[in-house]
Chain A
């Protein structure tokens, strides 16, 4: 029975990607550890995406607050504004939007970087220079993306809430302390931890997809562009899929 071509490609690719992920787990935790390179990648990944993530976080918090206010006024619960915004940002919007920006910024740059290293034989050159390129390039980047995204999400949440505080103050007056007290009173532990845990998965997915696409880039500059592009598309999609799975799981576990 012949599957349509696109389906076959999809299944091939899924299989390849699973094997690639398997290789990560098989090689990632054995010596020689590339600790210095891991730290270097953490720095680069964090540094590259921080301004963008900060800015989008700020705007998100501000806009969300301004958009929600009229509805809440209609229902007569304007005082709940900080609580609502807090929950929305911490549980869903902060992690997902940050992860999407991260996918656009870091996923594409990893895809392009490894892709061009592949087509210009830099990966082969590393291998003949006594380096396991999979560990040196892939493992370090995946681990760095997995560690850095949660940090970035927490920062972004903080900046969003600050944006929201300013949003509240545009048409009313709340003190800084009162605003954050209301936010944190509304948040329970079970709001926070699933949101934090899923960011690890988001980071892992973005790093893994970027590396997979780059590492398997086709010859030529066109191939590099395609790697970068599909790294963004696939990792953004993965973010939503993981989000969907996590919400189902937490729901089943009764954490909400």
Chain B
């Protein structure tokens, strides 16, 4: 099955192709709960891949393994050419600077203003910057997500869509090479969801990122992803573009398109 996938993969276009994330034979379980079983995935530079799966299928677990928040039981995850499981703390931090993680629940720090939220990753990653530069970077990033005026507000004062934008700004502020989106549109109304999807495409182009989008929202996936990977029973069950998968008659694939 797997060798087949490798040989079938269509010849890639002219750009030099190097995977920024590559996951091989990933296993992860919590006690008796086997969440990921032999999951494989490659994310090429400049590519936007969506991982589609039901609630509880282990999508969040997958992306937390990628960033080293959870440790896999076995298998290999390499990010920007480095094996995540083998990195020490400092090396992991250096990778994390280049990987933006948009959390499912936004994870904005409630006790800090929007500005302090955005400054936090810069300050903590020891990124040397004069106060002016830092202010400028914050303003620019806020402008890029369309919320230039919110710097002095507290997260509780923001609506769901605004929080998502601020959370996105906080991950973008370090100019990441890779973006990991954990259900960017879940919990938002369809209109706001569409705005967020559009914003994701925009910032993807502006910041020149490769992205992995975890979702079960077909509209979002369709708008943002070049390729879809289906996560079913802990495995990569099917793989293809939106149109390809839509034509697929397998019931487990079809259920997502209904």
- Name the distance in Å between B89's Cβ and chain A's nearest Cβ: 8
The reply to whether A128 and B96 contact each other, CB–CB distance below 8 Å, is: yes
Contact of A131 among B64, B101, B124 (CB under 8 A): B124
Cα distance A129–B103 when bound, in Å?
12
Residue B106 at the chain A interface, CB threshold 8 Å: yes
Cα distance A119–B108 when bound, in Å?
12
Residue B97 at the chain A interface, CB threshold 8 Å: yes
Contact of A129 among B105, B108, B111, B120 (CB under 8 A): B120
Residue A125 at the chain B interface, CB threshold 8 Å: yes
Q: How many residues of B contact A (CB 8 A)?
A: 22
The reply to whether A125 and B103 contact each other, CB–CB distance below 8 Å, is: yes
Interface flags for B61-97 (1: CB within 8 Å of A; 0: not) read 0001001010000000000000000000000010011
Interface flags for B103-144 (1: CB within 8 Å of A; 0: not) read 111111111000000001100111000000000000000000
Contact of A130 among B104, B110, B124 (CB under 8 A): B124
- A119 neighbours in B (Cβ, 8 Å): 105
What is the predominant secondary structure among interface residues of chain A facing chain B?
Answer: helix
Contact of A127 among B69, B109, B125, B126 (CB under 8 A): B69
Cα distance A121–B102 when bound, in Å?
10
- A125 neighbours in B (Cβ, 8 Å): 101, 103, 107, 109
The reply to whether B107 and A122 contact each other, CB–CB distance below 8 Å, is: yes
Cα distance A131–B107 when bound, in Å?
14
Interface flags for B147-180 (1: CB within 8 Å of A; 0: not) read 0000000000000000000000000000000000
Q: Which residue of B lies closest to A129 (CB)?
A: B121
The reply to whether A130 and B97 contact each other, CB–CB distance below 8 Å, is: yes
The reply to whether B126 and A120 contact each other, CB–CB distance below 8 Å, is: no
- B105 neighbours in A (Cβ, 8 Å): 119-121
Residue A16 at the chain B interface, CB threshold 8 Å: no
- A113 neighbours in B (Cβ, 8 Å): 111
Name A residues whose Cβ lies closer than 8 Å to a Cβ of B: 113, 116-117, 119-122, 124-131
Q: What are 22 A-to-B residue pairs whose CB atoms are below 8 Å? A: A113-B111, A116-B110, A117-B109, A117-B110, A119-B105, A120-B105, A120-B110, A121-B103, A121-B105, A122-B107, A122-B108, A124-B64, A124-B107, A125-B109, A127-B69, A128-B69, A128-B96, A129-B121, A129-B125, A130-B124, A130-B126, A131-B124
